[in-house]
């Protein structure tokens, strides 16, 4: 099995002791981290029988984990700005998603994967699409990113009735995709059932979707909750209670439940989230840009609720860049909870181990430790906007002044997906050209 030795200047392990190692080495064997060599071991280890990637000016961190993404929306960046959630869905996003064909779907998903990898993300959970989900899967397999995927499930839609399908069809095709793709692509792919949100799902669909998770070990339940005040009003009207209370009533709030946003949780719901060990996918840019609100993250963390981060979709962000999510996750809380809240170290934890815990893969990834998968990002922190020296706080350098331009190389599952700034599995020029072409064709289909 192929072995590679990485010799970065610094390793930010994000292990339980939050060790920061200088002058150490990482041995990767196959798709896993075999060993961390101390500086002494590195000096005395002799000739290494494998590839040596000498990177004495770079900093290794665990790959970012984004627990809420919509790859099918990447093409719609810049086409749905300055709207509140329900109008954003009704006027723009649902009609756009419904207009996808196979080619535009692939173009959208592969562009998203390229952007995510280019900016240091190694694992995602994606909300998928009602139609052409196989193209999202194909793009993820081609790109080589680690992913939890699910076809978006919608069996009702008062906002845009054309984008939905009969309950049985939605459940049947979900089961088909799960059987075909859960634990596939050398284990990089797993399934997460993805009912879109309460307002697009009957109780039957929510039940059936959650029930499916018990037949597939490691499968997750991924949906949106408590994002917007108008959505909350509509949920109360239908269910007589708030989102999370309703999920609990339906018995679909458990440790494999990941809820995006969770901005407008009442105190009972916070209690339920903690009690059931459910997870939050916090999406700061999306929450601010759609004017949805500010989630009470410090409060949730203090109650022991696991919080992870996600960029959501390109048209509500408008990037898929984890550096921006980290920076905003910290900054947005400070006027409310004080400048000492959400420090850089805790935010990088949300972006790595928080994500791994949300996805139930904390034993496999989220930190740089022997035995874990080799999901490693090499950062060049010798830039004019953030040059790092040992006397500085590395977490601050990454969280408050980091950017995709710091990302030099990305290894996922032991394989270089970005090497010295160049994508290895994706032709960047072709992706950009195809995204432009397919978007133009899609917009013409909408007008027709
Ligand atoms: Zn979303």
| Cα R_g (the chain), whole angstroms | 21
Check whether 369 has a pLDDT greater than 90. yes
What tokens were used for 87?
């109008």
**Mean pLDDT calculated for residue range 423-428:** 98
Inform me whether the pLDDT recorded for 45 exceeds 80: no
pLDDT in tens, 234-269: 999 999 999 999 999 999 999 999 999 999 999 999
- How far, in Å, is the centroid of ligand 1 from the Cα of 2? 38
- Determine the distance separating the centroid of ligand 1 and the alpha carbon of 309, expressed in angstroms: 12
- Within 10 Å of residue 154's Cβ, how many Cβ atoms? 25
Interatomic CA distance for residues 233 and 210, integer angstroms:
24
- 8 Å CB contact between 125 and 330: no
- 63 CA → ligand 1 middle, Å: 21
Spell out the domain ranges in the chain: 3-62+368-423, 64-358
Contact 346, 309 (CB under 8 A): no
Domain 64-358 is classified in which CATH homologous superfamily? Metal-dependent hydrolases (3.20.20.140)
CA of 192 to the centre of ligand 1 (A): 14
Percent of the chain with pLDDT over 90: 98
**Ligand 1 centroid to residue 312 C-alpha, Å:** 5
- pLDDT score, position 6: 97
The predicted pLDDT at position 147 comes to: 98
Q: How many angstroms does the Cα of residue 261 sit away from the middle of ligand 1?
A: 8
CA distance 415 to 28: 10
Element (H, E) at 206: helix 203-213
What is residue 46's predicted lDDT score, i.e. its pLDDT? Answer: 78
pLDDT in tens, 326-352: 999 999 999 999 999 999 999 999 999
Tell me how far apart the alpha carbons of residues 442 and 448 are, in angstroms, rounded to a whole number.
10
The whole-angstrom distance between residue 96's C-alpha and the CA centroid of its chain comes to 22
Sign of the torsion formed by the C-alpha atoms of 281, 121, 62 and 192: positive
**What per-residue confidence (pLDDT) applies to 336?**
97
Question: Over the chain, what is the mean pLDDT?
Answer: 97
pLDDT at 42: 93
Distance, CA of 411 to CA of 273 (rounded, Å): 34
- CA separation for the pair 10, 285 (Å, rounded): 30
* Distance from residue 310's CA to the centre of ligand 1 (Å): 9
CB atoms within 10 A of CB 178: 22
CATH 2.30.40.10 at 3-62+368-423, yes or no: yes
Q: Which residue has the higher pLDDT, 47 or 198?
A: 198
Question: What would the pLDDT profile of 281-328 be if each residue is shown by its tens digit?
Answer: 999 999 999 999 999 999 999 999 999 999 999 999 999 999 999 999
Ligand 1 centroid to residue 411 C-alpha, Å: 26
pTM beyond 0.75: yes
Residue 40 CA to ligand 1 center (angstroms) comes to 47
> b/e map of 359-387 (b: 16 or more CB within 10 Å)?
bbbbebbbbbbeebbbbbbbbbbeeeebe
Ligand 1 centroid vs 65 CA: distance in angstroms? 15
Helix H or strand E encompassing 210: helix 203-213
What pLDDT is attached to residue 47? 86
pLDDT bracket for residue 219 (50, 70, 90): very high
Report pLDDT for 277.
98
Q: Which pLDDT score is estimated for 107? A: 98
The pLDDT of residue 44: 85
pLDDT value at residue 235? 97
């Amino acid at each position: 099995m192929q072995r590679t030795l990485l010799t970065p200047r610094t390793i930010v392990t994000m292990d339980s002791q939050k060790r920061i190692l200088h002058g150490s080495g990482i041995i990767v064997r196959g798709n896993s981290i075999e060993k961390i060599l101390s500086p002494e071991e590195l000096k005395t280890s002799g000739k290494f029988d494998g590839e040596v990637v000498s990177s004495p000016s770079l900093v290794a961190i665990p790959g970012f984990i984004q627990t809420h993404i919509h790859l099918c929306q990447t093409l719609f960046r810049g086409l749905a700005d300055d709207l509140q959630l329900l109008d954003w869905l009704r006027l723009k996003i649902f009609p756009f998603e419904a207009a996808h064909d196979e080619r535009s779907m692939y173009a959208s998903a592969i562009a998203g994967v390229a952007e995510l990898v280019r900016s240091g993300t190694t694992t995602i959970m994606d909300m998928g699409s009602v139609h052409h989900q196989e193209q999202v899967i194909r793009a993820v397999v081609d790109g080589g990113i680690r992913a939890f995927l699910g076809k978006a499930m919608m069996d009702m839609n008062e906002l845009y009735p054309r984008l939905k399908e009969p309950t049985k069809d939605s459940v049947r095709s979900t089961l088909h995709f799960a059987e075909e793709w859960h634990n596939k692509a050398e284990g990089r792919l797993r399934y997460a059932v993805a009912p879109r949100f309460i307002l697009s799902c009957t109780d039957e669909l929510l039940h059936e979707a959650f029930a499916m998770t018990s037949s597939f070990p490691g499968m997750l339940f991924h949906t949106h909750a408590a994002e917007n005040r108008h959505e909350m009003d509509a949920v109360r009207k239908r269910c007589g209670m708030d989102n999370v209370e309703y999920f609990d009533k339906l018995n679909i709030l458990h440790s494999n439940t990941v809820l995006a946003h969770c901005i407008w949780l009442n105190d009972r719901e916070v209690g339920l989230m903690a009690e059931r060990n459910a997870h939050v996918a916090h999406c700061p840019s999306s929450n601010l840009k759609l004017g949805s609100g500010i989630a009470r993250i410090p409060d949730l963390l203090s109650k022991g609720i696991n919080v992870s981060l996600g960029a959501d979709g390109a048209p509500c962000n408008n990037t898929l860049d984890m550096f921006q999510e980290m920076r905003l996750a910290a900054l947005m809380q400070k006027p409310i909870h004080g400048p000492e809240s959400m420090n850089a170290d805790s935010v990088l934890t949300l972006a790595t181990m928080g994500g791994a815990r949300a996805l139930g893969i904390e034993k496999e990834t989220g930190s740089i430790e022997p035995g874990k998968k080799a999901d490693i990002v090499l950062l060049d922190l010798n830039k004019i906007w953030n040059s790092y020296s040992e006397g500085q706080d590395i977490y601050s350098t990454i969280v408050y002044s980091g950017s995709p331009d710091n990302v030099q190389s990305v290894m996922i599952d032991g394989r270089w997906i970005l090497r010295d700034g160049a994508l290895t599995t994706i032709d960047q020029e072709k992706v950009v050209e195809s995204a432009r072409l397919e978007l133009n064709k899609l917009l013409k289909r909408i007008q027709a």
